[in-house]
Amino acid sequence: MRLWKDYTPVSSQPKDLFIGRVVEVPSGDSITVRRLLPNEPADLLAPSASQFFIANENALTDPSQNVRITLSSLRVPRMGRPSKTDDQPSPNEPWAQEARDLVRQKAIGKRVFVQLEYTTVTGDEQKMKRDFGSVFIVSNDVKAPADAQADIQERNNIAVMLLENGYATVMRKKADDQDKSQYMDDLLRAESLAQQKQKGVHSKKDVAVAHVNDVSKVYHMHQCFLMIADWCWSSK
């Protein structure tokens, strides 16, 4: 019947591969990566890097060089969001703060290999694009994606780190759905390990939600200022 004569398989190749440096971790499953500049030193704070920083200051601080990546196929507890009606943000979900702290500890300032896998667009009037991908921590001598093959291992996958600690769960999709992580087997194995040990979100115990005033956010900065001012006046 020749039903498949015009069939073209969907490409499973990643959309984009690049090496960058983690500059921000807004939440456990969201990472901002700045694309690596040519001849960028491993440590930008080292005295030997001062000339490079001065010569490339504009490029290093250019927001257009930053890419916000959401980790593929993960469900991570949500951080609290600022309210539209008052100054009080919504509360964090259990384990949300711990998930972000883990990624910050492991990845902030580190060189990473980014594999963008798919993009989603939401919203009718105001379109919001989200890039999903896998992020691996790599050694400082890696300068191009071709150099990162030795570091693309399960233990260096940030999504696997979250799952092993019970700070995330895997989002299952149909076998023919291309919008998913290319490392699904690694993710499922890490999730299963956390389930067996009843870690994080798999724990059967009641967990107190961690409360941290993140002064990198404007609304939290305002709250901290008021708390300090109140303490200063009350101590007089």
| Cβ contacts of 116 within 8 Å, gap of 6 or more | 14, 15, 16, 17, 67, 69, 131, 132, 133
pLDDT for position 109: 92
CA dihedral 171, 176, 180, 183 (to 10 degrees): 100
**Of the listed ranges 62-71, 86-95, 149-158, the one predicted with least confidence:** 86-95
pLDDT in tens, 89-133: 678 889 999 999 999 999 999 999 999 999 988 766 667 889 999
Can you give the length of the chain in residues?
236
Domains of the chain: 16-210 (2.40.50.90)
Specify the higher pLDDT residue, 79 or 135.
Answer: 135
Overall average pLDDT of the 39-52 stretch: 84
Residue 41 phi/psi, 5° resolution? -70, 160
Task: Report the C-alpha gap between 120 and 15 in whole angstroms.
Answer: 13
Mean pLDDT score of the chain = 83
pLDDT in tens, 169-186: 999 888 788 889 999 999
pLDDT for position 175: 78
Cα separations in angstroms, 20 against 67, 149, 200, 231? 9, 15, 29, 42
Structure tokens at 207: 């967990």
Cβ atoms 159, 183 nearer than 8 A: yes
pLDDT for position 11: 43
pLDDT for position 193: 96
pLDDT for position 98: 95
Task: Report the C-alpha gap between 35 and 58 in whole angstroms.
Answer: 13
Task: Report the C-alpha gap between 207 and 188 in whole angstroms.
Answer: 24
Percent of the chain residues past pLDDT 90, beyond the cut: 49
CA dihedral 106, 164, 73, 220 (to 10 degrees): -50
Overall average pLDDT of the 10-34 stretch: 85
Task: Report the C-alpha gap between 34 and 112 in whole angstroms.
Answer: 10
Count of CB atoms within 10 A of residue 111's CB? Answer: 23
Task: Report the C-alpha gap between 23 and 32 in whole angstroms.
Answer: 6
pTM of the full structure: 0.79
Report whether pLDDT(8) > 50.
no
